């Protein structure tokens, strides 16, 4: 048992969760209920024509972990289009009008034994369910909603990631999923995006946000946000002597980046991407190519093509719309991010060799527990003694609450 605990301590050293969006700044680390970890969007496998949006939060959630009536969660969606950007170049343009927001609010009793939550998407799409209740009968609008504790779907090798981020070293792959036997709190929304917008839509930009709400004054304080999950912990980490930018970045309003801060974010991303590019000893990105990538990343969102909702069978996975656009191709991919997308390997390969060389892998290629084709798609929480110990030790070592 002692060796087991020491191993867990090693897994959850301070930098061990530097991947995806887990524990991605001093503020969110201290407020687990506002710490957004992952955002997913994919065509619903059990309800053709609908899309599933999943927002995970509260890393290393324990049995008693709960949502709070003091925190509001929202999915924000805007229409987008692919437009010309100079000779033979394309870019994604996100429209500033017609924004749609799906808001999740909680009523939490004092004993925290149960939660009641309401998902309000507007246009008559509103649903209230109890904590951990599996919603199986959509209303006339087709809206389904789930909130509860589920198994962590994100998968990665922390040691591998740490070597790349800190040393620029590409280590041999190893089947060591740092987040196996861990759980999160999850919000799952399934709906018809055409019904949400009141018309047929195609390219849509999606982000999510947590906001602290003072129940007495109504004052609202942005806590965390997420679009593309790699931004804070992979593209914005500070090197020695550099200022911490992640809390500032997390508290930006989605689609409303403060221009006074943009130069700092742009410079940090550019520097880190150049560092990763050289980790294989070869410069695969030109200055202009890297600059175009950074500008796309500053519009921090998941891109999904709602018109391609029939199947992901031919999808190339996470970031596929973006890579097509950066190559000057008007993408036909559904985009988004599925629960089984090996987003970390896709990211590593693109950053390091721009998808022009051998695929790079950390050795972990699937969630620790199999996901389902039935709503809410995420696996049930891991209730093993290992999961309990991992949550206790992990939250203690990382200083999470």
On the CB side of 110, CA atoms within 13 Å amount to: 0
Q: Name the residue with tokens 């998808």.
A: 355
Residue in the structure block whose two tokens are 């030109």: 286
Round to whole Å and give the CA distance between 278 and 88.
27
Residue 311: CB atoms within 10 Å: 11
Stated as kind and residue range, the H or E segment containing 293 is helix 287-298
H or E element at residue 221: strand 220-226
d(CA 389, CA 257): 39
For residues 112-119, give the mean pLDDT: 82
Q: Is the pLDDT of residue 165 over 60?
A: yes
Q: Which of 25-34, 40-49, 364-373 has the lowest mean pLDDT?
A: 25-34
- The three-class DSSP label of residue 27 is helix
Enter the tokens of residue 283. 């410069």
Assess whether the previous peptide bond of 376 is cis (omega < 30° from 0): yes
Q: What is the pLDDT of residues 141-154, one digit of tens each?
A: 889 999 999 999 99
In degrees, to the nearest 5, what angle opens at C-alpha 347 toward C-alphas 57 and 229? 20
Residues paired with residue 102 on neighbouring β-strands, in sequence order: 75
Mean confidence (pLDDT) of the chain: 88
How long a stretch of residues is the chain?
A: 401
pTM score? 0.92
Continuous segment of H or E residues that includes residue 150:
strand 144-151
pLDDT of 308 reads 84
> How close are the terminal C-alpha atoms of the chain, in Å?
25
Report the alpha-carbon distance of residue 256 to residue 91 in Å, rounded. 18
CA atoms within 13 A on the CB side of 251: 14
| pLDDT tens-digit map of 102-115 | 999 998 776 666 78
Which residues 6+ apart lie within 8 Å of 6 measured at CB? none
Lowest mean pLDDT among 215-229, 306-320, 327-341: 306-320
Please report which confidence band the pLDDT of residue 32 belongs to, taking 50, 70 and 90 as the band edges. confident
E strand segments, 66-143: 71-84, 90-94, 100-107, 116-122, 125-130
Please report which confidence band the pLDDT of residue 314 belongs to, taking 50, 70 and 90 as the band edges: low
pLDDT band at 346 (very low <50, low <70, confident <90, very high): very high
- What is the DSSP pairing of strand 203-213 with strand 302-305? antiparallel
Dihedral of CA atoms 105, 78, 39, 348 in degrees, nearest 10, equals -160
Mean pLDDT of 117-137: 92
């Amino acid at each position: 048992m002692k060796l087991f605990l020491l191993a867990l301590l090693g897994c959850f050293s301070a930098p061990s969760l530097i991947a995806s969006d887990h524990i991605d700044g001093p503020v969110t680390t201290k407020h687990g209920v506002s710490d957004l970890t992952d955002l997913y969007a994919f065509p619903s496998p059990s309800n053709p024509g609908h899309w599933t949006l999943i927002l995970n939060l509260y890393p290393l959630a324990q049995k008693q972990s709960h949502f709070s009536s003091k925190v509001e969660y929202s999915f924000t969606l805007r229409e987008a289009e692919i437009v010309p950007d100079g000779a033979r170049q394309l870019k994604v343009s996100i429209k500033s009008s017609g924004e749609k927001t799906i808001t999740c609010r909680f009523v939490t009793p004092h004993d925290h034994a149960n939660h009641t939550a309401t998902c309000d998407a507007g246009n008559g799409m509103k649903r209230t369910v109890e904590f951990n209740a599996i919603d199986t009968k959509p209303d006339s609008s087709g809206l389904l909603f789930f909130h509860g504790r589920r198994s962590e779907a994100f998968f990665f090798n922390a040691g591998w990631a740490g070597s790349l981020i800190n040393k620029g070293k590409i280590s041999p792959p190893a089947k060591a999923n740092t987040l196996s036997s861990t759980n999160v709190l999850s919000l799952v929304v399934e709906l018809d995006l055409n019904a949400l917008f009141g018309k047929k839509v195609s390219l849509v930009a999606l982000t999510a946000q947590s906001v602290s709400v003072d129940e007495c004054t109504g004052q609202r304080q942005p806590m965390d946000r997420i679009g593309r999950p790699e931004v804070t912990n992979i593209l914005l980490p500070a090197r020695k002597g550099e200022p911490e930018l992640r809390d500032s970045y997390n508290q930006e309003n989605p689609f409303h980046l403060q221009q006074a801060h943009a130069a700092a974010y742009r410079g940090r991303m550019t520097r880190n991407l150049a560092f990763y590019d050289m980790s294989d000893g070869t410069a695969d990105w030109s200055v202009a190519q890297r600059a175009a990538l950074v500008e796309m990343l500053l519009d921090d969102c998941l891109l999904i093509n709602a018109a391609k909702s029939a199947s992901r069978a031919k999808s190339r996975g996470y970031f596929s719309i973006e890579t097509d656009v950066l190559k000057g191709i008007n993408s036909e991919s559904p985009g988004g991010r599925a629960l089984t997308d090996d987003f970390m390997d896709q990211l590593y390969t693109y950053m390091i060799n721009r998808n022009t060389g051998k695929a790079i892998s950390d050795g972990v290629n699937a969630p620790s527990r199999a996901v389902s084709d039935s709503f809410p798609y995420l696996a049930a929480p891991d209730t093993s003694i290992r999961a309990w110990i991992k949550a206790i030790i992990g939250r203690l070592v990382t200083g999470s609450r």
